[in-house]
Structure 1
Amino acid sequence: MKKLLCSISILFLAILLTGCKEKETPGDRMQTYVSNWNESKFSEMYKDFLNTDTKKMFDANEFVDRQEKLAEDLGIKNLKITYKKPKEETKWDEEKPAAFPIQISMDTIAGPIKFEKELTWHFETHGDTENWFAEWDPSFILPKLTEKDKIQISTMSAKRGKIFDRNGNPLAVNGTGYEAGIVPGKFTDETKKSELAKLLNTTVKFIDKQVNQSWVQPDYFVPIAPVSKNNQALLDKLITIPGVTYQETEMREYPYGESAAHLTGYIGKITAELLEKHKDEGYKETDLIGRQGLERILEDRLRGKDGVGIYIKSPESGATLQKVVETEAVNGENISLTIDAELQKKIFTSMKGEPGASAAVDPQTGETLALVSSPSFEPTEFMLGVSGERYKKLSEDPLKPLFNRFAAAYAPGSSLKPITAVIGMEKGTLKPEKGLSISGQTWQKDSSWGAYRVSRLHPEAPNPLNLKNALIYSDNIYFAQQALAIGKEDFISGLTKFGFGEEIPFMLNISPSQISNDGTIASEGQLADTSFGQGQMLANILHLATIYEPILTNGIMYKPTLLLDDRTQQVWKEGIISKDTAEVLKNDLRSIVVDGFAQAANIPDIPISGKTGTAELKTSAEGRGEENGFFVSYNTNNPAFILAMMIENVEDNGGSGYVAEFAAEVYKANNKK
């Protein structure tokens, strides 16, 4: 009897507690539902909150999978659903729906989406549960979306920005080329596939993959690989194969080709490594990206931003697309350089494919007018994807056409002597008119130098030897003695004033010029060597042109600029040289060409001033030294630019006079315009 009474009491208590528990209101349900929605918990939303009619219309896959897939495909982030909470004292009628105005917002790959809806709740019995359940349809995913509609995503490609020279000449532009391909119905000789694959630097497997795509029909054109419109030889070979043809297509062009290749660089297909490196920047596997030169350095500015549109596509025939959100493409920026492309081409042509580097700067502004590396390569060839065989041939070429010489640093040889003269004159230890009596072909200060001796090429130089004649005869002994008079510390200090030993303030990555490997001069012998640009001294070709500026600007050296919209006359160094010292050097640099060993540059009607230089690099097994030749020059009457040119291995071509001859060709060509 006691057990029965106990059981009745427990049952009564349970009924009592159940009756005391407050029912959930539509507001309570709404709060939990929206919380799940904001966290994209679609499974919980479907299982616990949707009303009977909704579940009859849409199964769990249609509700959950579709929203999860669209979230991924549309790049939905920051999904946020808001509504105005009802007042606590609100009375709810279970016989009537409860409606809540809601605001839905999200970010997508095509931009932000915001819209308003009304979410309706119905009081229903689901099994043993009575509660409020939501009425849902696909228009809560995107506005006006129905269960039969499909979502379409379209991309509007941004045009890559162009690169121009200072005069508006195109250096890198969006032009045209050709897409080589197959018309399957006419390509009947299967044995020709391997020949085609070799010509287009691809594989038979890739050709088969392209031809076997689902959309391909016998009379359709199937693209295989791009071909430059300048590669007529390849195009002629392709059309000899039955069924192979080509169509015009958009393509990056480099009108100045090899002459500016190391400067402009090129674009190419993005690699897996680059895709990973730029994984958060919106690149796709099919994109092109700057791979070398300015195309790579200016990638962010040139690239632009593709436009994206999200549209609703109705299954009805002829129905127009309904735009949900659309972001227009933003084309890349057009960039103008300080480079004079025609001067660049003239310099490159004058070098006749010899290995070397050149730079030209405007001495009054610091603008870089030319940066040349010779020999070079055709950038379009790399843009289209150079074959392994072709790349091997280029990389193993002893002239190293892929090596960017204007970015490197070389021993400047005697082209440094005017700078040594400046340091000595500014200190007061070098008197231009004072002559030194020097005899013989070699010299050493005393026996403490051991076996080391300074050699000179022209022992016939007249005594006493003053600065002008020392420059004309490029006398190493004279400048070695002047450097000793200056002293190691003051000589280092003087070179530092010209920017040696520090990074060159330039947008391209170029090697700095150095005084020595550690920035110090350990001995008098090293001091002597450094005075005429040997020892451990190295100079970048752009810097070499720049350090001659103070001679023409009475002491100011400008930062070299490359972008036309950069402010000109940005002072890098000033107070380097006095007006009197500058006048002496200007006169002497003209005399070097008129009376010295740069006679090849002593051309009629174009007075040229400059200094040659020869740097000995090493001694071969036969005992002959390899030499690089230099010539830094400008038009005496119209110094619109300072031209620094270096040619490698001139030991069998007349030394630095060979370089002066090349430079003279530039001035002649430039005088014709």
Structure 2
Amino acid sequence: MRRRNKFRDHKLEARLFRSRAVFAFICIVLLAGLLVLNIYCLQVTQHEYYQTRSNSNRIKIIPVPPTRGLIYDRNGIILAENVPVFSLELVPEKIENISETIEKLRGIIDISQEQEERFKKNLKRARRFSSIPLLDNLNDEQVARFSVNRYKYPGVDVMATLKRHYPYADILTHSLGYVARLNQSDLNRLITEGKDHNYKATRNIGKIGIERYYEDVLHGKVGYQEVEVNSRGRVIRTLKYVPPVSGQDITLNIDVELQSYIHKLLGGRKGAAVVVDPHDNGVLAMVSSPSYDPNAFVGGISNHDYKALLTNRNRPLINRATLGTYSPGSTIKPFIAVAALKERSITPRTKVRSVGAWRVPNSSTRAFRDWLKWGHGNVDVTQSIEQSVNTFFYQIAYDMGIDSLSNWMMMFGFGESTGIDIFEETSANMPTRAWKRNRFNKPWYIGDTIPIGIGQGYWTATPIQIANATSILVNNGRKKPLQLLDSLSNQNDSTKNKLVESPPIQGVPSNYWELARYGMYLVNHGKNGTSRKVFRNALYKSAGKSGTSQVFGLAENEEYDADNTPEHLRDLALFTGFAPYEEPEIVVTVILENAGGGSFNSAPIVKKIFDQVLIK
């Protein structure tokens, strides 16, 4: 078979090869150009950007929490401190068999199943070179027992940290408050306030009381370490260290010895006591009873223990001094007397005949009774305070009317917060026509006004408000803010707390103030004073006013029988006073829930507090 000859066009093939070579060369040049351009962008144009990203992978910022400021009482006694606590921690990468190691540790230290499970849960989330706590709050014996066996447990060590501690336990809880674990609610608030950056690596935050109110002062400023890490996140070296700034120390007006004494006097009974220095309205003591130990919250209180506090019928979690709302009873009669004198509803010589009951003029409404069923006879303003004559103040309430009464009592601080430096305070209620309309959608009646004259009806107040009003009376209408804080201090200096007074009650003649105070003097030292027996042998002169607040109403002809009344329905006992009478050094207000008459129950406690402060 003949072979077919093939003819090749060498020129065409050469031309085709050259064109392909040129195209390939152009592609190579373009690609090389793109590569060079990209390198230029990386090395020159975007150098800083990628250098920063590279450093962020290599350099880490580790926040260093500040040391919380300490809290002292007025005499320099420490009330809140930072104490070292020890935890047993394991580094997983240094331990061959973690479960076996934990089992061996049980031979020298008690480790519960719950603690082991919590450790293993944390182990899953942590890096193997991290130190993971197995046990917290080791006592001295546990630390010593591990220390002598430490060589047997590579990768296991005892670590020390600082923990908030309150040496006076339940004595100061409602004033100091406490710190506890920072939760999501706290974090959300910090983010809103723009403060979250200062809480990196911080575990605890002030929850209530002084710890909460002065959180910004006590917390300090976070520091940081700039460290170089490898690809696994292990720290290789420290590049920079900015130390944290410790929180400022706080000195309170509180006298812890006086606070402890009053706490013991109340003895767990439901009630509250407030002691104020009328010169500057510094709070010397503020006791709410019963109380609880705040140290339980610092490390995290168990659900069982917290539920027990929540369900306790005596409500220890409530600060009765600032959140407890009670009818103020007859403790407010001196304040109403000042208002009535200024409004000319009465004069210093006005007398009202007390026959044991009072009725609204030209009305068939029920009688409003006096505590003395046969009456007190003809009494003036000082005698009506001395003997706590309800009839006299029913008449004042009727003559002044609710509008004037409410306005005046608001000037004495009722119906609004005192401004004391804790967040846990209520304004209670000073009733008005508008309040009743909004609350009950009903008009105000004259029958609503009359009980206001003796601190009953819709009127509620807190012990701190009554103490504040008493201080205003002592100071002839000057209004000084109630303060727990005395001063702030750091390593270099101390700053006294600067107070701004509210506008005073103006236009009241000084003799009107003196008349009200003299009526209170007669309560303690007059021949008919309701508390004369309590203060009979006192080594000083004082002034006071008792109050008895009903928990439930009585029918017109019904008699109150304390012995046959369930405890939770018994009257509240109140007393407020100041001493010495001529140059007052302290104002004291005490309330006891379900205790009966103020003269018989609260007055003796006030007398003992006076003695504690005044008799050296």
Residue in structure 2 matching 1:543, options 456, 465, 483? 465
In structure 2, the partner of 1:512 is 427
| Partner Cα distance (1:629, 1:502) in 2 | 23
Query: What is the letter of the counterpart of residue 389 of structure 1?
Result: H
In structure 1, the partner of 2:279 is 364
In structure 2, the partner of 1:392 is 307
Aligned residues of 1:612 and 1:657 also touching (Cα < 8 A): no
Residue in structure 2 matching 1:164, options 72, 92, 97? 72
Does residue 582 of structure 1 match 2:513? yes
Residue in structure 2 matching 1:494, options 408, 417, 434? 408
Query: What is the letter of the counterpart of residue 369 of structure 2?
Result: S
Gaps of 5+ in 1: 43-63, 75-108, 110-152, 230-234
| Partner Cα distance (2:507, 2:406) in 1 | 14
Does residue 631 of structure 1 match 2:539? no
In structure 1, the partner of 2:166 is 254
Residue in structure 1 matching 2:394, options 458, 473, 480? 480
Residue in structure 2 matching 1:437, options 338, 341, 353? 353
Aligned residues of 2:263 and 2:287 also touching (Cα < 8 A): yes
Deviation at 1:513, TM superposition (A): 4.1
* Cα offsets for 1:260-297 (capped at 9, x unmatched): 10111111222344345446335357712222222122
| Partner Cα distance (2:139, 2:542) in 1 | 41
In structure 2, the partner of 1:416 is 332
Alignment of structure 1 residues 97-176 onto 2, 5 Å: 109=61, 156-176=64-84
Deviation at 1:158, TM superposition (A): 1.9
In structure 1, the partner of 2:255 is 340
Aligned residues of 1:610 and 1:634 also touching (Cα < 8 A): yes
Does residue 455 of structure 1 match 2:369? yes
Task: Tell me the SS of whatever aligns to 2:262.
Answer: helix
Task: Tell me the SS of whatever aligns to 1:268.
Answer: strand
Residue in structure 2 matching 1:290, options 206, 217, 231? 206
Aligned residues of 1:176 and 1:253 also touching (Cα < 8 A): no
In structure 2, the partner of 1:304 is 220
| Partner Cα distance (1:470, 1:185) in 2 | 79
Deviation at 1:619, TM superposition (A): 5.5
| Partner Cα distance (1:438, 1:374) in 2 | 38
Deviation at 1:372, TM superposition (A): 1.7
Does residue 641 of structure 1 match 2:560? no
Aligned residues of 1:558 and 1:572 also touching (Cα < 8 A): no
| Partner Cα distance (1:672, 1:434) in 2 | 38
Residue in structure 2 matching 1:523, options 445, 460, 469? 445
Deviation at 1:207, TM superposition (A): 6.0
Aligned residues of 2:418 and 2:464 also touching (Cα < 8 A): no
Query: What is the letter of the counterpart of residue 497 of structure 1?
Result: M
In structure 2, the partner of 1:600 is 534
**Are the structure 2 counterparts of residues 507 and 655 from structure 1 closer, same or farther at C-alpha, using a change threshold of 3 Å?**
closer
In structure 1, the partner of 2:544 is 610
In structure 2, the partner of 1:374 is 289
Gaps of 5+ in 2: 1-11, 90-100, 150-156, 437-442, 487-495, 555-560
* Cα offsets for 1:419-446 (capped at 9, x unmatched): 111110111221233221121x332114
| Partner Cα distance (1:386, 1:15) in 2 | 76
In structure 2, the partner of 1:263 is 175
**Are the structure 2 counterparts of residues 308 and 470 from structure 1 closer, same or farther at C-alpha, using a change threshold of 3 Å?**
same
* Cα offsets for 1:373-424 (capped at 9, x unmatched): 1110111122232222222222222211111112213211111111111110
Deviation at 1:157, TM superposition (A): 4.0
Does residue 224 of structure 1 match 2:155? no
Identity of aligned residues (%): 22
Looking at secondary structure, tell me which structure has more helix per residue: 2
**Are the structure 2 counterparts of residues 254 and 631 from structure 1 closer, same or farther at C-alpha, using a change threshold of 3 Å?**
same
**Are the structure 2 counterparts of residues 189 and 331 from structure 1 closer, same or farther at C-alpha, using a change threshold of 3 Å?**
closer
In structure 2, the partner of 1:554 is 476
The alignment covers a number of residue pairs equal to 541
**Are the structure 2 counterparts of residues 300 and 361 from structure 1 closer, same or farther at C-alpha, using a change threshold of 3 Å?**
same
Aligned residues of 1:554 and 1:582 also touching (Cα < 8 A): yes
Deviation at 1:576, TM superposition (A): 6.2
| Partner Cα distance (1:171, 1:449) in 2 | 60
**Are the structure 2 counterparts of residues 541 and 70 from structure 1 closer, same or farther at C-alpha, using a change threshold of 3 Å?**
farther
In structure 2, the partner of 1:46 is none
Aligned residues of 2:41 and 2:47 also touching (Cα < 8 A): no
**Are the structure 2 counterparts of residues 479 and 227 from structure 1 closer, same or farther at C-alpha, using a change threshold of 3 Å?**
farther
Alignment of structure 1 residues 309-328 onto 2, 5 Å: 309-312=225-228, 323-328=238-243
Query: What is the letter of the counterpart of residue 329 of structure 2?
Result: G
**Are the structure 2 counterparts of residues 499 and 189 from structure 1 closer, same or farther at C-alpha, using a change threshold of 3 Å?**
closer
Which structure's relative contact order is higher, taking Cα pairs within 8 Å and 6+ residues apart? 2
**Are the structure 2 counterparts of residues 225 and 325 from structure 1 closer, same or farther at C-alpha, using a change threshold of 3 Å?**
closer
* Cα offsets for 1:444-485 (capped at 9, x unmatched): 11464634x311111344321222221122122210101212
Query: What is the letter of the counterpart of residue 268 of structure 1?
Result: A
Aligned residues of 1:633 and 1:644 also touching (Cα < 8 A): yes
| Partner Cα distance (2:364, 2:257) in 1 | 50
**Are the structure 2 counterparts of residues 285 and 272 from structure 1 closer, same or farther at C-alpha, using a change threshold of 3 Å?**
farther
**Are the structure 2 counterparts of residues 355 and 246 from structure 1 closer, same or farther at C-alpha, using a change threshold of 3 Å?**
farther
Residue in structure 2 matching 1:664, options 593, 604, 607? 607
**Are the structure 2 counterparts of residues 371 and 246 from structure 1 closer, same or farther at C-alpha, using a change threshold of 3 Å?**
farther
| Partner Cα distance (2:159, 2:42) in 1 | 59
Task: Tell me the SS of whatever aligns to 2:457.
Answer: coil
| Partner Cα distance (1:430, 1:530) in 2 | 17
Give the TM-score normalised by structure 2: 0.75
Query: What is the letter of the counterpart of residue 570 of structure 1?
Result: E
